[in-house]
């Protein structure tokens, strides 16, 4: 399968383009003033958020009750961020989250495919919310296994993907070695 590494899809076109906010400091942090809500766990998504924070974005990592995270990844992956816990399954949690959405520029979704959709915060729902407020939102969705194929809807993170791909690669490697190796006997 020959698919691009990433794609861009425009979900709405009615909101006008918005310029980056002017920097208020002497340091050239290009994303200063950009607000990001990060709904991600483990490695890939938090790394995206950390990079945005390093470039000056104000990143708020949103976790929920009962969502485990790996503590030693938090030290590196959460550098430069703020964090909060919001129960997106409760009425109060939804109200808090929607207040945050009123002023956000970027939403990072690293949860299992369809998880935010079930809570009412799919990419299309966020686009409609952005249309209503008159300012677009960048919705970034990272998915371990891609969007097509038999594993597209499986949850996963890098270690799982590494194991799956290593197994496949090692099987090929073993096959190549066993076919091309001559033993001096």
Q: Is the pLDDT of residue 167 over 60?
A: no
52 C-beta neighbours (distance < 10 Å), count: 22
pLDDT at residue 1 in the model: 62
Sorted by where each starts, the structural domains of the chain and their CATH numbers stand as: 35-142 (3.40.50.10540)
d(CA 116, CA 39): 9
Cα angle 145, 151, 155; round to 5: 65
According to DSSP, residue 17 is labeled P
d(CA 37, CA 80): 13
The stretch 57-84 carries a mean pLDDT of: 83
Nearest to 146 by CA among 136, 132, 156: 156
Rg (alpha carbons) of the chain, rounded to whole number: 20
pLDDT at residue 114 in the model: 87
Which band of pLDDT confidence, cut at 50, 70 and 90, is reported for residue 78?
Answer: confident
Across all residues in the chain, what is the average pLDDT? 82
Q: Is the pLDDT of residue 32 over 80?
A: yes
According to DSSP, residue 89 is labeled T
> Quick check: 64 and 85 in contact, CB under 8 A?
yes
Q: Is the pLDDT of residue 180 over 50?
A: no
């Amino acid at each position: 399968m020959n698919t691009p590494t990433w794609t861009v899809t425009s979900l709405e076109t009615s909101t006008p383009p918005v310029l980056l906010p002017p920097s208020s400091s002497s340091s050239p942090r290009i994303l200063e003033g950009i607000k990001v809500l990060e709904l991600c766990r483990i490695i890939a998504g938090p790394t995206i958020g950390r990079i945005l924070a390093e470039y000056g974005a104000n990143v708020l990592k949103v976790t929920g009750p009962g969502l485990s995270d790996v503590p030693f990844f938090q030290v590196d992956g959460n550098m430069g961020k703020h964090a909060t816990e919001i129960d997106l399954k409760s009425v109060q949690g939804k109200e808090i989250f929607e207040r945050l959405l009123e002023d956000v520029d970027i939403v990072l979704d690293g949860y299992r495919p369809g998880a935010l959709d079930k809570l009412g915060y799919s990419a299309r729902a966020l686009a409609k919310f952005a249309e209503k407020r008159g300012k677009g939102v960048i919705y970034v969705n990272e998915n371990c296994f891609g969007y097509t194929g038999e594993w597209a809807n499986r949850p996963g993170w890098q270690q799982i993907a590494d194991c799956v791909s290593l197994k496949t690669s090692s099987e090929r490697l073993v096959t190549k070695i066993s076919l091309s190796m001559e033993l001096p006997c």
